[in-house]
Amino acid sequence: MNETKCPPDEIAMKSYFLGPRAENGEWFQERIDGFLRSWFDWRRATFRKDGSPIPTSDLRAPAFLQRQNDLAERANELRERFEAEIPKFSPRYVGHMFSELSLPALMGHVIALLHNPNNISAESSKVGLQIEKEAVAMLLRMAGAVPERGVGHFTSGGTVANFEALARARHRIRLWQALGAYARREGVEHLALREASQMGWVKFDELGRRLSPSGFARWWAELQNEERPENRLEEIYGETWRAPAIILGPSSHYSWRKGAALLGFPAPAVIECELGREGRLDGASVRRALGRCADEGRPVAMIVGVAGTTELGSVDALDEIADEIESERAAGRFHWWHVDAAFGGFFASLRTSRPGDPLDARTLSALGALARANSLTMDPHKLGYVPYASGAFMCLDARDYPHSAVDAPYIAFENSVDPGVYSLEGSRSATGAAATWLAGRTMGFDEKGHGRVLKRATQARRRLEGILRESAGVYVPGGLDLNVLCFSMGRARRLSVMNQDVPSFIRWIESLGESAFQVSRTTIARKSSTESLFQDLIARGFDVDADEIRLVRLCLMNPFLSSEELRTDLIAEFAARVDEFLRPGRGADALT
């Protein structure tokens, strides 16, 4: 029996994952068996006097047994097919933003799946909605927010959560514009259109007290029934209506542009900022975009920051952006600020920086600004180690949560902030919330739990990054803040050659059998907003003869990637494979 090389607190964390070779399999199987037995007992104890519609004689009938045998065969066929799936549980899988699942999350998922509640309302999810509320509170607390003030719900993923934010930002600005128009029509106050669009809730309430609530309700309904309500607003305000802007960076997730199109924001209203230092959105970038909107007379519906970009894992300068937005608020201009923390949100479990810690003070300060946003997206099915599909949308102030409510006559909603009244999805599983709840109650969303796992993952990224940066044939961009590592390579220091070698390297390293690694790739196009990346290439002596850069992309998140008990140092092996690929006559040449 091998003696462990880990300290007690590291050993304890291993109990929360099945292990690459199912080392915790026997214990986990006993738990699942126990859940099934309990579920069976619960069914048997419910409405016992009704009797059983499947008597013992049916269980022994030939036709019954034949169908059971057929089902077992087809289920085995399905099981066998899925055994050809990508082995995401292996530390050698360093591709996309998924990995090993935590045992608490798997257990929570299975328990909720057996009961199958629909978190649309309390009459279809008596327990599930309460679990969801508690899980949302855990995520808000991890982000540094006050759980009692916030409200949110789980979604099928970050894309829908981002749509939820867009829908609310659009609703809020329309509501403020409508009240401003009604006040002008009634001769109470004459705000300009852009002024009304950004008035804030305090001004909204103050103005509302001077107007007839029933009169405004009728006007609001009338305006919503207009085919082109902007024409009425132009008539009342006496100025040209401009579509409200969505301010974001080029590295924001594609779902923002998709959602903007779906919700009717025209393309000119989606304003892409130039990135600041090392390809991050910062306060100066947002200030310039706000100035452009002011020059155009365009109100601002939303500003989007990112905690963990899809390409590089970069964290925008969220603290600087928060300062800029708060300066705007001090001047009476209130803009919805959303942080898309679908990937990086769980890094908020790391609060402090000590010598040797993988997150620098800048990144920690940026993550500390999550609590200053209007709303957040988080994806437990990424760095929460939770099964698909599990995203979360949260408003840090409950006042911002309601938007265009649509009632369903066959559903009894309990109150005005019941998620089912406002969620874009009509049916929502409780599995994601239950998985997140159990992970939070056991591992914990703090430095001793999830934070410890993410800290090790980021240490692995920094170690591999350090090795690759020493290679003359490898380019590693800046802006790598979390556990994503991107690099390009080439036997020549020409970008066009490097772009050819990246897919060749991926084919080669994924073809090495038992020594293979599975990776992913990304491409960044050259444009004004990403120019800083290409200028960095030039500064490092590369010949930039292409309009895009292809990058090998690694997401280092497996909790066992750097385990000292493994026979192989996987970080050192991967670096050696890169070196081998670049060596004349070896990997790259073997493919040509």
* pLDDT on residue 490: 74
User: Residue 182's Cα: distance from chain center in Å?
Assistant: 38
**273 vs 261: CA distance, rounded Å:** 18
Q: What is the pLDDT of residues 199-214, one digit of tens each?
A: 999 999 999 999 999 9
In this structure, which amino acid lies at residue 55?
P
In this structure, which amino acid lies at residue 511?
S
**66 vs 72: CA distance, rounded Å:** 10
**What value does the mean pLDDT take over residues 173-180?**
95
Is the model more confident about 133 or about 473? 133
Of 309, 290, 198, the C-alpha closest to 249 is 309
pLDDT at 30 over 60: yes
For 47-80, the three-class secondary structure string (H helix, E strand, C coil) is CHHHCCCCCHHHHHCHHHHHHHHHHHHHHHHHHH
Of 466, 501, 393, the C-alpha closest to 156 is 393
Of 501, 591, 503, 495, the C-alpha closest to 546 is 495
What 3-state class would DSSP assign to 393? strand
* pLDDT on residue 553: 97
Compute φ and ψ for 258, nearest 5 degrees. Answer: -65, -50
Reading the block at residue 74, the tokens are 């087809």
* pLDDT on residue 3: 60
DSSP state of 196: H
Of 416, 374, 377, 380, the C-alpha closest to 395 is 374
Residue reference for tokens 């066992």 = 560
In this structure, which amino acid lies at residue 369?
A
**465 vs 354: CA distance, rounded Å:** 20
**Helix/strand/coil percentages in the chain, nearest 5:** 50, 10, 40
* pLDDT on residue 382: 96
* pLDDT on residue 2: 53
pLDDT at 408 over 50: no
* pLDDT on residue 569: 93
* pLDDT on residue 7: 75
Q: What is the pLDDT of residues 84-122, one digit of tens each?
A: 999 999 999 999 999 999 999 999 999 999 999 999 888
Give me the helix-helix angle, 255-262 and 158-185, nearest 10°: 40
* pLDDT on residue 426: 87
Instruction: Report the chain's mean pLDDT, rounded to a whole number.
Output: 91
pLDDT at 410 over 50: no
* pLDDT on residue 11: 84
Of 347, 351, 346, 327, the C-alpha closest to 337 is 327
**51 vs 57: CA distance, rounded Å:** 14
pLDDT at 188 over 60: yes
Lowest-pLDDT range, 155-159, 258-262, 325-329, 415-419? 415-419
**What value does the mean pLDDT take over residues 397-404?**
88
**What value does the mean pLDDT take over residues 34-61?**
95
Reading the block at residue 449, the tokens are 């739990």
pLDDT at 286 over 50: yes
**What value does the mean pLDDT take over residues 340-344?**
97
| Bridge partner residues of 309 (DSSP) | none
**How many CB atoms are closer than 10 A to CB 242?**
18
Report the share of the chain in percent with pLDDT over 90: 79
* pLDDT on residue 4: 60
Q: Residue 566: which pLDDT band, with cuts at 50, 70 and 90? A: confident
Task: Identify which of 367-371, 473-477, 523-527 has the greatest average pLDDT.
Answer: 367-371
Q: What is the pLDDT of residues 487-526, one digit of tens each?
A: 998 777 899 999 999 999 999 999 999 999 999 999 999 8
pLDDT at 362 over 60: yes
* pLDDT on residue 413: 39
Q: Return the C-alpha torsion angle 159, 164, 169, 175, nearest 10.
A: 150
pLDDT at 411 over 60: no
Report the share of the chain in percent with pLDDT over 70: 95
In this structure, which amino acid lies at residue 350?
L
R_g (Cα) of the chain, nearest Å: 27
Residue 113: burial class (beta carbons within 10 Å; 0-12, 13-18, 19+)? middle
